[in-house]
């Protein structure tokens, strides 16, 4: 048997505007076991209360999300409210559903609409600062509200106000292709630095220094001439009065010793 909400429950007067009176239907829903009849009644309750959810969604219009997506999020919140509502607690369904749907929409903004991750506390500061800005713009025409004025209106510290004002710009981020103001055609990406391989070289030299100091003086000289002066093995041999083969063997011995003594992380 397919469950339906009774005509009486749909037309009875209700203290909350045009909201349907479904108190009896929720009592019945709580008593029904899982199955087709319960699912049908649940779906009809969701459909009856859907206009209220859509009205709540409209309140959040103009904040960077389409109304269609907001209505979908609100509908999801409504489904959760219908599933979790307990009529035995004595509260009207609307009193339970409104904060549930509103919370679902706010979570959507918090989790999906911020390009940068912003702590919840900072998001709350942002909301208070934004509300104060709107109020002060109506009462102090001709100039932008100061940090001190916003702090006095919100009862926040000036530091908290500045944090909230910075968060006002965190919903979206500039493209790296965006032109830098006054940059003569330079894009934001042109101002970003890259990894400097010189830092790795500094680390390697610092790690190798104790090992090099432990080498015989002649070996240190050969390494210096080869890698800092750029001399060939034959020129080094001529300068030291030894054969090129001898220079090659000495260099190989130095490399083996350095590999054994250098820390593993420096050698990688």
pLDDT at 194 over 80: no
pLDDT at 6 over 70: no
pLDDT at 7 over 80: no
What pLDDT sits at residue 136?
Answer: 86
Pick the CATH number of 114-173 from 3.40.50.720, 3.30.565.10, 1.10.150.20, 1.10.10.10: 1.10.10.10
Average pLDDT on 255-260 reads 84
What pLDDT sits at residue 29?
Answer: 92
What pLDDT sits at residue 79?
Answer: 95
What pLDDT sits at residue 41?
Answer: 94
Question: Are 24 and 9 contacting, i.e. CB atoms less than 8 angstroms apart?
Answer: yes
What pLDDT sits at residue 26?
Answer: 93
The model's pLDDT over 124-174, given as tens digits with 9 standing for 90+, comes to 888 899 888 888 888 876 788 899 999 999 999 999 999 888 877 666 666
What residue ranges do the domains of the chain occupy?
A: 7-112, 114-173, 197-267
pLDDT at 11 over 50: no
Q: How many CB atoms lie within 10 A of CB 233?
A: 18
What pLDDT sits at residue 187?
Answer: 75
HEC string of the chain equals CCCCCCHHHHHCCCCCCCCCCCHHHHHHHHHCCCCHHHHHHHHHHHHHHHHHHHHHHHCCCCCCCCHHHHHHHHHHHHHHHHHHCCHHHCCCHHHHHHHHHHHHHHHHHHHHCCCCCCCHHHHHHHHHHHHHHHHHHHHCCCCCCCHHHHHHHHCCCHHHHHHHHHHCCCCCCCCCCCECCCCCCCEHHHHCCCCCHHHHHHHHHHHHHHHHHCCCHHHHHHHHHHHCCCCCHHHHHHHHCCCHHHHHHHHHHHHHHHHHHCCHHHHC
Residue of higher predicted confidence among 9 and 19: 19
Average pLDDT on 239-247 reads 91
- The structure tokens listed for 12 are 């009875």
What pLDDT sits at residue 174?
Answer: 62
Highest-confidence segment of 5-19, 145-159, 205-219? 145-159
Q: Which fold has domain 7-112?
A: Rna Polymerase Sigma Factor; Chain: A (1.10.1740)
Write down how long the chain is. 268
What pLDDT sits at residue 268?
Answer: 46
Strand partners, 179: 187
Maximum separation of any 2 CA atoms in the chain, in Å: 114
Average pLDDT on 75-94 reads 91
Residue of higher predicted confidence among 24 and 209: 24
What pLDDT sits at residue 171?
Answer: 61
Residue of higher predicted confidence among 130 and 188: 130
Band of pLDDT at residue 62, cut at 50, 70 and 90: confident
Strand partners, 5: none
Band of pLDDT at residue 25, cut at 50, 70 and 90: very high
CATH architecture of 197-267: Orthogonal Bundle (1.10)
Is it true that 7-112 and 114-173 share their CATH fold? Answer: no
């Amino acid at each position: 048997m397919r469950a339906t909400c009774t005509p009486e429950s749909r037309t009875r007067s209700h203290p909350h505007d045009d909201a349907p009176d479904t108190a009896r239907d929720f009592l019945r829903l709580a008593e029904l076991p899982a199955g087709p009849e319960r699912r049908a009644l649940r779906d009809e309750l969701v459909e009856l209360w859907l206009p209220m959810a859509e009205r709540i969604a409209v309140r959040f219009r103009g904040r960077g999300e389409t109304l269609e997506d907001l209505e979908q999020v609100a509908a999801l919140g409504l489904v959760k409210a219908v599933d979790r509502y307990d009529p035995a607690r004595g509260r009207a369904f609307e009193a339970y559903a409104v904060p549930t749907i509103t919370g679902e929409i706010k979570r959507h903004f918090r989790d999906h609409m911020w390009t940068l991750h912003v702590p919840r506390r900072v998001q709350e500061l942002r909301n208070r600062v934004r509300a104060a800005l709107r109020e002060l713009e109506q009462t102090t025409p001709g100039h932008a509200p100061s940090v001190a004025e916003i702090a006095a209106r919100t009862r926040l510290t000036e530091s908290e106000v500045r944090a909230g004002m910075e968060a006002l710009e965190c919903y979206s981020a500039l493209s790296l292709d965006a032109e830098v103001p006054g940059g003569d055609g330079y894009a934001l990406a042109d101002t970003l630095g890259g990894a400097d391989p010189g830092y790795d070289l500094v680390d390697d030299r610092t790690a190798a220094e104790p090992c090099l100091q432990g080498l015989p003086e002649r070996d240190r000289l050969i390494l210096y001439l080869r890698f800092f002066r750029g001399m060939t093995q034959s020129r080094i041999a001529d300068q030291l009065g030894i054969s090129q083969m001898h220079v090659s063997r000495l260099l190989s011995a130095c490399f083996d010793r350095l590999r054994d003594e250098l820390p593993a992380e420096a050698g990688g």
